[in-house]
Amino acid sequence: MAEDEAVVLPLCASAALEEGGAAHVWDVLEHGRPARAFALRFDGVVRAYMNRCLHVPVELDWQPGQFLDSDKRFIICSIHGATYEPEDGRCVGGPCGRGRLTPLAVKEQGGLVHWYPSADVRPAPPALAG
């Protein structure tokens, strides 16, 4: 685990994540399987989650990188409208039950957004990244 904690990867420029704007989406390996994650800015803070609905394990965005509802208040699933609190990923409406999106550790520093991979969610090899 100590080796994982030492890995820090730049994701994108801080300026690329505008309040209420498009998210940065990237490829990861979750427990060794290809998956996608996203980072967006909400109330000035960058939050990142696995791009997977709790209702059915599909990606959430209704257009590439677009995760927020029309009021820019909640993360919304494009399939059946499950809504999630951007601050903590908690399900607040629709068919996502009492769960929450899987959070990923991110931090802004020096004008960049950095991701801290974990033992469960690791960087995808370049051949898998798209």
In the window 45-64, what residues touch ligand FES (CB under 6 A)? 53, 55-56, 58
Helices (H), the chain: 2-5
Q: Judge whether 67 and 21 are in contact, CB under 8 Å.
A: no
Shortest Å distance, C-beta 109 to ligand FES: 33
Residues with Cβ within 8 Å of 39's Cβ and at least 6 positions away in sequence, in order, are 11, 12, 17, 23, 24, 26, 46, 47, 48, 104, 106, 113, 115
Nearer to ligand FES, 40 or 77 (CB): 77
The answer to whether 80 contacts ligand FES (rule: CB under 6 A) is yes
Please choose, out of 21-29, 36-44, 78-86, 101-109, the segment that lies near ligand FES by the rule CB under 6 A. Answer: 78-86
Please choose, out of 6-14, 21-29, 35-43, 74-82, the segment that lies near ligand FES by the rule CB under 6 A. Answer: 74-82
The answer to whether 90 contacts ligand FES (rule: CB under 6 A) is no
Q: Say how far apart CA 90 and CA 87 lie, in whole Å.
A: 8
Q: Say how far apart CA 86 and CA 69 lie, in whole Å.
A: 11
Q: Which residues bind ligand FES (CB under 6 A)?
A: 53, 55-56, 58, 77, 79-82, 94-95
